[in-house]
Amino acid sequence: MASNETVVEGVAGRYASALFELAKEASKTTEVEADLNKFQALLDESSDLVSMVRSPVISTEEQCKAMDALMAKAGIGGLAANFFKLIASNRRLFAAQDMIMAYCAIAAKARGEISAEVTSAVALNDAQVAELKQALKASVGKDVTLATRVDQTLLGGLIVKVGSRMIDSSLRTKLETLKVQLNGTGA
């Protein structure tokens, strides 16, 4: 089974791989990926949802009820909805974002694409995503699937991870580097 090797590991990788195999058997890989991306968009928009997903204090029952309501409201059904219910009942909801990224990486690899993770200080618009995809395609020579995240602590710029390579052009990192350089020169 060397052809199924992926760069995903750990809990997130195992769950994502299992979901991908189920989706592949049902010929629903694209549908499941779209539903997972819907949920990721909800996470990106709501810090309250992120808190609920990551909270060890909220009971399994409460998380399951919240996920049921959220799945219905967001129009997420089928395998993806069952997946989220499963990880909520198994107390693995805290790893949902990593599972989504792992699934997208597996799906991209199956399509012959390279997946990249992009973290920005603010949500990227469609034009920015398209421009970034073009630049990455020119750099790596293959189509690129982007998984985007928002991290307001970056202040500005981007962190782009493609495979084992990472390009950090965030304002936070530049300021930290400048601080180290100023402290190192005795200024």
Query: CA quadruple 115, 116, 118, 124: dihedral positive or negative?
Result: negative
Domain ranges across the chain:
1-112, 113-187
Is residue 107 a contact partner of residue 143, using CB atoms and an 8 Å limit?
A: no
Q: What is the pLDDT of residues 159-174, one digit of tens each?
A: 898 877 888 888 888 8
Q: Inform me whether the pLDDT recorded for 69 exceeds 60.
A: yes
Q: Give dist(CA 125, CA 144) in Å, integer.
A: 17
In the chain, the N- to C-terminal Cα span, in Å, equals 57
- Give residue 4's pLDDT band: very low, low, confident or very high (50, 70, 90): very low
Cβ atoms within 10 Å, residue 151 = 13
Q: What would the two tokens of residue 39 be? A: 């949920």
CATH of range 1-112; options 3.40.50.1370, 3.20.20.100, 1.10.520.20, 3.20.20.140: 1.10.520.20
Higher pLDDT residue, 4 or 138? Answer: 138
Q: What is the pLDDT of residues 81-138, one digit of tens each?
A: 999 999 999 999 999 999 998 998 899 888 888 888 888 888 888 899 899 889 888 8
